[in-house]
């Protein structure tokens, strides 16, 4: 195996079970040169050189997105309802009311969701089914040339087969809609996925992609938020459409992002065409080793408890030992299982990531 593989090649080959010299070393959570505000107090320019300092491979998370609007298109500007306290309140163009705070780990929270019934969907729908050309950047040809000789993976983005409607309605109201108005749920998901397939088709005419990533967050510590029956009824048919599209366009990876314990959900996803998942949250009880035994062809990313970085070197070293096991499972890229929180010092983050890099560079799958 040559040592001249790019991070793009290592990413694809690792997750699809091909031989590699090593797995890629990727950030997984955060963006280019991401740094907590507390770290910038003592290193004010860290957000310029963080990636080079740590030695992350690839770009963005390790794999990149392209600047295309995959969500609601043409929304009017948000309206600020209250900015008199540190937590501001906003209302967006479809009626969602949410909070926003600059200085918290979780910046935003929803006070009121926009979608409650079919009347709300009639109001929201035009922002989903708008002219595809409005979503395509005017400099798509220049972007195509920019990405042509890249050495990192590039994704097409799906806001979620479940995740899109969940973001409109919230988990609780969506749970009722599954029973009270299943046809509405099917209509919304179908409209969104069909829009994406048309958009992706246009993008694939210009750019070669390595993966399709779908954001779901449809599990918690006790498992999936929805039943296998509802998964098969509402979601699986659309994942199969996405898989068919991926195969037709030589896109090898269909990656799903879901927090929580995804051990059972992964089995349903795999049957519907998904072949990689992340982040395998440690505190939620995810067990990549058991999952590998059940699904030998399912790729994985993450798996290391982010909270260990808030403790000492002993705790971090113990957690990092798991990275060797994850690499040896094959089809797995180890890394933090979520965004680093404000209780983590830069010194600890740097130690953890430097040690992880050393493991990655010296462990053959």
Give pTM, 2 decimals. 0.95
pLDDT tens per residue, range 297-327: 999 999 999 999 999 999 999 999 999 999 9
pLDDT score at 107: 75
Q: Please, what are the averages of pLDDT over each run of 10 residues along the chain (365 residues)? A: 84 98 96 94 96 97 96 95 92 96 78 98 97 95 97 98 98 97 99 98 98 97 96 99 99 98 97 98 94 96 98 98 97 96 96 98 96
CA distance 209 to 159: 17
CB atoms closer than 10 angstroms to residue 134: 9
pLDDT at residue 68, rounded to an integer = 96
What secondary structure does DSSP assign to 302-346, as a single string?
A: EEE-GGGGGS-HHHHHHHHHHHHHHHHHSSEEEEESSPPPTTS-H
Give the closest residue to 242 by CA, choosing from 278, 280, 216, 279: 216
Q: How many CB atoms lie within 10 A of CB 82?
A: 10
**Distance between CA 278 and CA 261 in Å, rounded?**
11
Task: Pull the structure tokens for residue 266.
Answer: 């992964």
Summarize pLDDT for 126-149 with one digit per residue, the tens. 999 999 999 999 999 999 999 999
Q: Residue 255 is inside which H or E element, if any?
A: strand 253-257
Mean pLDDT of the chain: 96
d(CA 106, CA 88): 13
Before 279, cis peptide (omega within 30)? yes
Is residue 292 classed exposed, middle or buried when 0-12, 13-18 and 19+ CB atoms within 10 A define those classes?
A: middle
Task: Give the CA distances from residue 62 to residues 31, 65, 204, in Å, rounded to whole numbers and listed in that order.
Answer: 9, 10, 21
Q: Write down the pLDDT at residue 3.
A: 62
CB-CB neighbours of 84 under 10 Å: 7
Closest Cα to residue 277, out of 12, 15, 65, 24? 15
Residue among 340, 363, 361 nearest 7 (CA): 361
Question: What CATH code is assigned to 7-75+115-361?
Answer: 3.20.20.210
User: Cβ(309)–Cβ(316) under 8 Å?
Assistant: yes
Taking the CB of residue 188, how many other CB atoms lie within 10 A of it? 24
What whole-number percentage of the chain has pLDDT above 70? 98
**Going by DSSP bridges, is the β-strand pair 79-82/88-91 parallel, antiparallel, or unpaired?**
antiparallel
The gap between the terminal CA atoms of the chain, to the nearest Å, is 12
Distance between CA atoms of residues 207 and 143, nearest Å:
8
Tokens matching residue 139: 């400099």
């Amino acid at each position: 195996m040559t040592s001249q593989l790019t991070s793009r090649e290592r990413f694809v080959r690792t997750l699809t079970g091909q031989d590699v010299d090593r797995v890629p070393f990727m950030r997984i959570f955060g963006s280019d040169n991401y740094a907590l505000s507390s770290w910038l107090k003592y290193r004010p320019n860290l957000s310029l050189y963080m990636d080079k300092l740590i030695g992350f491979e690839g770009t963005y998370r390790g794999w990149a997105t392209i600047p295309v609007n995959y969500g609601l298109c043409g929304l009017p500007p948000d309206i600020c309802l209250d900015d008199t306290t540190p937590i501001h309140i906003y209302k967006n163009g479809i009626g969602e009311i949410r909070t926003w705070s600059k200085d918290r780990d979780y910046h935003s929270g929803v006070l009121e969701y926009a979608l409650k019934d079919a009347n709300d969907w009639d109001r929201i729908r035009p922002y989903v089914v708008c002219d595809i050309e409005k979503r395509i950047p005017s400099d798509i040809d220049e972007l195509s040339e920019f990405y042509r000789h890249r050495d990192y993976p590039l994704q097409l983005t799906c806001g979620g087969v479940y995740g899109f409607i969940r973001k409109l309605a919230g988990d609780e109201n969506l749970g009722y809609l599954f029973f009270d108005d299943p046809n509405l749920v099917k209509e919304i998901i179908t409209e969104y996925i069909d829009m994406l397939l048309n958009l992706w088709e246009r993008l694939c005419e210009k750019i070669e992609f390595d993966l399709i990533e779908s954001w779901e967050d449809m599990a918690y510590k006790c498992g999936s938020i929805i039943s296998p029956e509802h998964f098969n009824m509402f979601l699986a048919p659309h994942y199969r459409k996405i898989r068919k599209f991926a195969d037709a366009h030589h896109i090898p990876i269909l990656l799903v992002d879901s927090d929580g314990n995804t051990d059972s959900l992964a089995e349903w996803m795999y049957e519907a065409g998904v072949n990689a998942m992340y982040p395998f949250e440690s505190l939620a009880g995810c067990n990549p080793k058991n999952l590998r035994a059940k699904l030998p062809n399912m790729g994985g990313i993450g798996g290391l408890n982010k909270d260990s970085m808030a403790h000492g070197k002993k705790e971090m070293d113990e957690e990092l030992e798991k990275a060797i096991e994850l690499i040896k499972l094959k089809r797995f890229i180890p890394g933090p299982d979520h965004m680093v929180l404000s209780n983590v010092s830069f010194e600890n983050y740097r130690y953890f990531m430097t040690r992880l890099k050393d493991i990655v560079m010296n462990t053959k799958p």
